[in-house]
Amino acid sequence: MRNLFLAAIVTATVFGSVNHARIADAGDCCPAPVCCVPAPPPPVEVTWCVQDPCTCCKYEVSACLPACCKCETPCLVDWRHGLLGRKILTYKFACGECVEVVITKHGKTIVRD
């Protein structure tokens, strides 16, 4: 009876280690997942001309935008009066990006992107 019991323990130990080895081997043979999504291109500087809606003076402004907006000309979608005689113009690109340009009463431009 004792020999039968020892044989059962040895068999369980051997088969148990074989099963663990098979599980470990299965994990080792599978390749690591590969990420197929490329990184987005870096932002680019886009330059365009804005016109003061009250004085018709033109100013050149630049903003850093996603690369998909590189060759686009934005449309003026809104403008409003701000504090201290400023005008706030909102430009929208076809790529979906919006940029606010502030024109001070002294003619300085500030880009909020």
Kindly state whether residue 85 falls inside one of the protein's structural domains: yes
Per-residue confidence of the chain (113 residues) as pLDDT tens digits? 555 555 555 555 555 554 554 555 555 666 666 667 888 889 999 999 999 998 999 999 999 999 998 888 999 999 999 999 999 999 999 999 999 999 999 999 999 86
Kindly state whether residue 52 falls inside one of the protein's structural domains: yes
Kindly state whether residue 13 falls inside one of the protein's structural domains: no
Q: Return the number of other C-beta atoms located less than 10 Å from residue 97's C-beta.
A: 17
Kindly state whether residue 91 falls inside one of the protein's structural domains: yes
In the numeric block, which tokens belong to residue 4? 């039968």
Kindly state whether residue 82 falls inside one of the protein's structural domains: yes
Kindly state whether residue 107 falls inside one of the protein's structural domains: yes
Domain carrying residue 92: 44-112
Number of folded domains that form the chain: 1
DSSP label of 80: E
Kindly state whether residue 20 falls inside one of the protein's structural domains: no
Kindly state whether residue 83 falls inside one of the protein's structural domains: yes
> Nearest to residue 81, comparing CAs of 53, 48, 108?
53
